Amino acid sequence: MEERDNIKKNIKIVFFGTPEFAVESLGRLVDKGFDIAAVVTMPDKIAGRGHKLIQSDVKKYALEKGLRILQPTNLKSEEFLETLREINADLFIVIAFRMLPESVWSMPRLGTFNLHGSLLPKYRGAAPINRAIMNGEKETGITTFFLKHEIDTGDMIEQRKTPISDDDNVGTVYDRLMKMGAEMVESTVNSIIAGNLKTYPQPEGEFIAAPKIFREDCAIDWNKDAEQIHNQVRGLSPYPAAFTTIVEKSGRRLDAKIYKTALSTKPANGPEPGTCIEEGRRLLVATGNGMIEILELQPAGKKRMETAAFLLGYHPEKMLNQ
């Protein structure tokens, strides 16, 4: 154990990451005594009405721990590459970061590995957790793999699975994978240090794309089946959230985000898709096949609320296809 701890302290790591998902793994490495020689994260962004500089979650953590921070705007710039050469790290770790050029990922002697939020080769791309839930998958997981030229295609190191329950949404699965991922990153680094690492190529023929989520992915089409819409809502909740336009019985229209739904056993009985049915403090909506119940939503300009509270002030007649 003492020998491994000494080796651990002598292995220099550069960590690449940006969001909260990456912070969990970085924090675990720091807590376990690994030498994080530098943290590479996205440049600060100007956002909001006050035009404030917004720092990434990884940068905030790195500042708190006094870690060296690099924020290159160009990953191929000679200045950045020279800085990495001077650090002379043994290993690079990438979690939820931009695509690295070969001049970067090929640099360390022990290689560069990535933690990805899916069971590769399924769901390669920027939004693997969202897309798995939106597609109605019953399980997902995490994978560590070494980088190569094509994105998310390198030889796999470790893989772990977790079920997706009917009550899960992207928030609950994200939190679970974030914690599982931190454990697996540590395990992968320990295997690399011990020299007993085994890798295996990704299976052919199982590829599913997981592209970035765009606004059109969030718009609800009530002509779709109830189950499809339910999975869309779960796969986008709590962020960025599925949305629709509600037409009230008075004719007033309002936009709303839909955060939680449930499949209803009540037969549609013929109303056209988007038709709203109030049953006491419950709200059912007809779809292309079956009924769906709205449980939580957020009208534009209001707070997120349960449907019972929403129906105290609103009387929806129809949900419009987006």
Would you say 52 and 130 are in contact if contact means Cβ atoms under 8 Å apart? no
First-residue to last-residue Cα distance in the chain: 59
- Mean pLDDT, residues 21-30 taken together: 98
| Sequence-separated (6 or more) residues with CB below 8 Å from residue 160 | 141, 142, 180, 184
- Asked whether residue 51 carries a pLDDT value surpassing 90, the answer given is no
- The torsion angles phi and psi of 193, rounded to 5 degrees, stand at -65, -40
With tokens 């693997």, the residue in question is 128
Q: What is the pLDDT of residue 2?
A: 53
d(CA 248, CA 226): 21
User: Which residues in 265-312 belong to E strands, given as ranges?
Assistant: 276-279, 282-286, 291-299, 305-306
d(CA 37, CA 13): 6
Task: Give, in order, the Cα–Cα distances in Å from 34 to each of 84, 107, 224.
Answer: 18, 19, 50
- Asked whether residue 9 carries a pLDDT value surpassing 60, the answer given is no
Confidence band for 184, pLDDT divided at 50, 70 and 90: very high
- Asked whether residue 6 carries a pLDDT value surpassing 80, the answer given is no
> What are the structure tokens assigned to 157, written together?
């190191």
DSSP secondary structure of 1-68: -HHHHHHHHH-EEEEEE-SHHHHHHHHHHHHTT-EEEEEE-PPPEEETTTTEEE--HHHHHHHHHT--
Indicate left, alpha or beta for 87 from its phi (over 0: left) and psi (-120 to 50: alpha).
alpha
- pTM comes to 0.93
Of residues 168 and 10, more confidence is placed in 168
**Residue among 246, 221, 242, 222 nearest 315 (CA):** 246
Rounded to the nearest integer, the mean pLDDT of the chain is 94
